[in-house]
Amino acid sequence: MEERKGIVASRQGPLTLMGPAVAVGDKAPDFTVLDQKGQLVRLSDFKGMVKVISVTPSLDTPVCDLQARRFNNEAAALPAGIVVLNVSMDLPYAISRFCTSAGIDSVVALSDHREASFGMAYGVLIKESRLLARAVFIVDRNDIIRYQEIVPVLSNHPDYEKALAALRNVIGPALAA
């Protein structure tokens, strides 16, 4: 099992990421996660769509809450053919409760808690806590990774503007308007 150090840290210090590093230009690895009802969901379920994958350690923290709300607001204005996924290690029922109370209805919120399939495939599983590192991936219609950001400090936000600019580059100017 590949381990990578020095990429992310918490306030307590450096953390270890499990799984291989993925890079822009790589084929996006498939994964198996759970939806809010406990049903299996795979990346391949969104074939032919542009995917924005927002990764949060736990929706029950202030930065993760704001990240989910920000991407939910952005997702509401996106054209058809684009899906925004939020992946965390939260249990499906906790995700459902969060989404209901926060009004998250434009993002598909998913749980990686069962197998850590997403975390291991994208190299963002934190060994010390079995949470996911905060990250954003943009995957094009052909399942090629076109953007990635792994946030170096877990308590910091991703660069939303940079991610949205990358999304506009992927979907093209006609769709971005």
* Residue 83, C-beta contacts closer than 8 angstroms, at least 6 positions apart: 46, 49, 50, 51, 52, 75, 108
Catalytic residue status for 64: yes
Whether the Cβ atoms of residue 127 and residue 8 lie closer than 8 Å to each other:
no
Which candidate, 122, 139, 131, places its Cα nearest to that of 59? 131
Q: How far is CA 8 from CA 22, 144, 155, 177, in A?
A: 15, 24, 10, 35
Single out the catalytic residue among 22, 50, 64, 132. Answer: 64
139 forms beta bridges with: 51, 145
Long-range contacts of 118-121 (CB under 8 A, 24+ apart): 118/31, 118/33, 118/55, 118/87, 119/18, 119/19, 119/89, 120/18, 120/19, 121/19, 121/22, 121/29, 121/30, 121/31
Q: List active site positions.
A: 64
